[in-house]
Structure 1
Amino acid sequence: MQKSEYQFTGIGIAFTILICWFLHLYFLLHQNLTFNNFYLFVGILIQTHLYTGLFITSHDSIHGVVSPKYPRINRLLGQTATLLFAFNRYSILEKKHHLHHQFVNTEKDPDVHQGNFFIWWFKFMKQYISWQQIIAMAIAYNVLKIWFPMWNLILFWELPAILSTLQLFYFGTYLPHMGIHNNEHHSGTQSKNHLWAFISCYFFGYHYEHHAYPYLPWWQLPKAKN
């Protein structure tokens, strides 16, 4: 499968995710919390999915595929998405993700820790959470409380970020790499269902395809699956 040549599609998609994340969060933070407002529950799920989109954007930036022709824009968009996702550090994600591809499912792989789901998730999260990130979140939370209600921040800013880490881990790491896979990329893949693949994790359930064609952005992975 050949590397696709495109100039602005990836940039447009990245901007769309960033703008939707911001506008939807802004909308939710201004809502009155009432149990008869069913959309608030749906809104948490949508915001979770948009958070996942932020991470996928930063991931594609690490692979240089948000904007292959404009590396500075590619990196800037990735760094912005990473920062908005709970003040993650792009440099750490970049280093460890390349190690994951280079040493997948070995002792040098920072993402794969075969065994119990929760122990694996804990070890996975330990690789990426830093004390600087926790301090930044605490400062941002206390500043944002000046303008927005506390429970709105917890439910619509913090909770979706936590749920998104579970979504990313379960569909993008645990399921694809759980157990032994007798192929060169030590990866499994979801059955072909593009709608579910997008909803679950922006097509990253097609994980063997991602390892086989790391130069494809997330929105082109269905082509690899086809």
Structure 2
Amino acid sequence: MVLKLLLQKHTGILIACTILVAWGSVLWFLLHWDVSFKSPFTYLAVLVMTHLYTGLFITAHDAMHGVVAPGNKRLNTFIGTLCAGLFAYNYYGRLFPKHHLHHRHVATDQDPDYHGGNFFLWFFSFARQYITIVQVLLMAGTYHLLQLWFPVENIILFWMVPSVLATFQLFYFGTYLPHRGEHEHTNKHKSSTQGRNHLWAFISCYFFGYHYEHHDKPYLPWWKLYQEKDRMAKGH
């Protein structure tokens, strides 16, 4: 009974640690892997790492809402900072205020995530908001450092490429799809949502495609959004 209560109380921390350990251990294994471009497993491994990178950012995002370690602000911020930093040296302290601006001013000129242009112009605007020269320099320095121990193809395939793909994934499912055509939305959050398919919602972006649900209840962690989707589907 006590163990069950502890698990319920610290579920967010346990899930965050699971993602961190999975990301680190799978990356370590793949950096040592004998790459074969003829093997489909190489490309599957890239997709797995992309999914884990996305998990890092979603965990950092949940930390911005205080739901990774509720009741322990210092630990919550530490986990968010760590996850953001491991994702191509994103700086949590820079992401935090911009994300809350997005929630307060969704789909307006004051929303740093919003752009009224096409997909590519929107992505360029989005990237410009969050990618800094310092990040690029740190990535370049780490790339050259990693070459001292690991093959170049492994570094590119499993460390660099997945972070780029995950950035597109997060933008497409978490920003572009739910907020495009915001002038057509009549709901108060100016956000659309994916159709109810929990498997696809998890694979595509850790349920973050259930975006109206997230804006409606930002205090729910990513792993509870599917429950909110079910509740709203029943009209409760």
TM-score, normalization: structure 2? 0.92
Partner amino acid, structure 2, of 1:82: A
Q: Give me the whole-angstrom Cα distance separating, in 2, the residues matched to 1:130 and 1:145.
A: 23
Match of 1:153 in 2: 155
Q: In the alignment, which of 76, 87, 95 is matched to residue 97 of structure 2?
A: 95
Pairs within 5 Å for 1:1-226: 6-179=8-181, 180-226=184-230
Partner amino acid, structure 1, of 2:37: F
Q: Give me the whole-angstrom Cα distance separating, in 1, the residues matched to 2:9 and 2:69.
A: 7
Q: Determine what percentage of the aligned residue pairs are the same residue.
A: 57
1:71 Cα offset (Å): 1.3
Moved over 3 A (4+): none
1:28 Cα offset (Å): 0.8
Q: Over aligned residue pairs, what C-alpha RMSD do you find?
A: 1.1
SS at match of 1:113: coil
Structure 1 unaligned segments of length 5 or more: list them. Answer: 1-5
- Alpha-carbon contact 1:7-1:69 (below 8 Å) kept: no
1:151 Cα offset (Å): 1.2
SS at match of 1:66: coil
Partner deviation per Cα, 1:25-76 (whole Å, 9 max, x = no partner): 1111111121333211100000000000000000000000001121111111
Partner amino acid, structure 1, of 2:92: Y
Q: Give me the whole-angstrom Cα distance separating, in 2, the residues matched to 1:34 and 1:210.
A: 40
- Alpha-carbon contact 1:101-1:211 (below 8 Å) kept: yes
1:115 Cα offset (Å): 2.2
The structure in which a higher percent of residues are helix is 2
Structure 2 unaligned segments of length 5 or more: list them. Answer: 1-7, 231-236
SS at match of 2:9: coil
Q: Give me the whole-angstrom Cα distance separating, in 1, the residues matched to 2:116 and 2:68.
A: 31
Q: Give me the whole-angstrom Cα distance separating, in 1, the residues matched to 2:67 and 2:177.
A: 24
- Alpha-carbon contact 1:51-1:164 (below 8 Å) kept: yes
1:147 Cα offset (Å): 0.5
Partner deviation per Cα, 1:118-149 (whole Å, 9 max, x = no partner): 00000000000111111111111111110011
- Alpha-carbon contact 1:28-1:40 (below 8 Å) kept: no
Q: State the number of aligned residues.
A: 222
Q: Give me the whole-angstrom Cα distance separating, in 2, the residues matched to 1:125 and 1:203.
A: 22
1:174 Cα offset (Å): 0.3
